[in-house]
Structure 1
């Protein structure tokens, strides 16, 4: 099975396995699906993932795979750079570190030393920790499980998503968000308290900034499958990235969405610009100084780095959406001044 389109390089040619994860059933199932060249046993994933002086960009062109066991910290407080959609209890999990895709704007290059992918095979321990710690009360909980990777895109390899859907069915006070750019939706009976949030941008923007990702048409086909299955679907138009003729390109993009879908069937549509903390931005630039992200004017506030003129484009997108969807379904992410 082929999991990543690369420029002639073979993905996952080398697989590193923690000795303590070697006999886990998920490890064995994953190994059966990959045509690897070398299998290397290690004591701890950090031996490979946290080494100094790695070339993140080169590794993203041909990533290796690290299979490990997570031993602690199965969930984290939600990031202030992400929308919590009004939920006071907002958390996320990190079951997989790094992504199949190679988006130029991705913040992961600013927080991870390596471009290799780490899969924590003990998915069941994440679920148990969330269930015992965060779901012990009846208070509403918003849990993002696909922040640091695209869980849906990797599900043919891991089959991790099913147990999380089962957790959602057991707990009505839980809302799970699955953020994705995937071009497939194989789920026949999705729980209504699981939000499948598709990241959508115009095709020219995808071509410029989102290497190895499915096309807009492929993602829209997957959305159609999800809506036919009566899934709860969110459109995430972010980060809104600059491009030549951006006003026309984004207007045509919104028009195509409005014509293909009844947008009022969606849970909501959120819009946000590129934003990253000043500290992370310095690491981001050092690792990838020729990135197309830097071809446009950026500005730094007390809180983050973003595009100087993105507000006008975001407001245009909001206005254009109002031709197709009720205004209350549109959420514009606002950063602090």
Structure 2
């Protein structure tokens, strides 16, 4: 949730005027049993389900689609195969009633058939998911170091390096806000303005300085609670106002919905990290409903950072994150 370019990274990094990607069909027959994959068409992605209660089902997805409903414990395989050498990412789309299922070994590069994805389900009367909040310490949805004047952090993704610096409190559009200055290696430079007020991460707006100067701000400010219990949804409707030199401001009414889907341990180029899985949907007067899934660092050095983002068109993961906290 650091910085916005034309919009915020968590709330709006891909939303404005993006198109909605089609979702995969359910990979089950008329009786709800998984259809067998055809290995001749590509690489099969599968694994094992354990702990699933009698009479319950869990819906799995690969790369954000290809829904597969597992009705019992044991082996599973997605009907939709993937090309050899391509990426796969298995996640839980719908939890069974009264249970919470977590995925391990769920992502990687499919060099051959994959059979070691593990889906482990436990009753929800097991230890309660701590949610996204962390009080005064770093949490999934926030890290106070992002507001410490002079602190810096850089994020490298597919060779592109984005460098951020916390500039301290300033006045932005009549309110007190923490300014973050950011530059990246493809020639962009921008300032973003945020704050933490009453347990909510407040996002005011951003100013693009290079390469195409403009400003985008929220009216009213976008306020996202940093503490969301498991499966809790938060929705807010705002105007996203864009101001370009020599042109009248343009406001686009946008509705954003956040849903916390629980803790998930994932393996990325940064290592194996416990994350908070957060679903985000957005719909505006100029675009239909679109959906992202984000995995935010739950604790430790990567708390609050975007560890993985899955959009309708791609999945991205930072290759390296470096920080210098005062």
State which structure, 1 or 2, has the greater radius of gyration over its C-alpha atoms: 2
**Higher RCO (CA 8 Å, separation ≥ 6 residues):** 2
Q: Which has the higher helix share?
A: 1
TM-score (norm 1): 0.24
TM-score (norm 2): 0.24
Q: Which has the higher strand share?
A: 2
